[in-house]
Structure 1
């Protein structure tokens, strides 16, 4: 099975600046800078709407593939921050984060001003460590 969302060479800043909503653009550029510093990785586009950092490979019943270790997308309704191990190990951090919603591996934030950025940094850093322990990572 070929995954629809693949790493590609599209320009990350061009994508963020094309989002259209001024606050999402500002927050997207801030997340780009923050996650680049935190991960030490260059941002890459995954599909046409995910900004990813690093890469891990996995195997599953459909064969497996590759996916960013962490990343984000400045979507119309919210900023989506990808916390790939899920949130089982983040209950204390989530209590201190501020206004957010959760999906399976997505942290939804309306705007960065709604959260504590230091807590977000802790969550992302811990998430990366967990992924590096579980999977082969680049």
Structure 2
């Protein structure tokens, strides 16, 4: 089975909507082009930051893939029409930018993000004529 979008591959194609969880992500090896499950805790801080940024920039695309996966699950009989309607209603209740922030995956990435370094107060460079007066 191949993935049409990084991160949405699972062994059961209809479960893409369930991949938005809080402990793993799928990445493609650049050399072999194989997909690998990566634990969020094992990712480097840089990788997590890039993934978080990517998810936020592509929230509308991610929501579209999740929507398609829900429809596929219903067609394959994994969920009923009523369950599908509830999932779609919940999915479309908020704009994609808000929806993605509320997914367990994004919440976990935010939680794992190291705190921002405190800003250092730096001395301003002042012309000599102004420094003399201080």
Same fold (TM over 0.5): no
Please identify which structure carries the higher strand content. 1
Decide which structure has the larger Cα Rg and report it: 2
Q: TM-score, normalised by structure 2?
A: 0.26
Q: TM-score, normalised by structure 1?
A: 0.26
Which has the higher relative contact order, 1 or 2, with Cα contacts under 8 A spaced 6 or more apart? Answer: 2
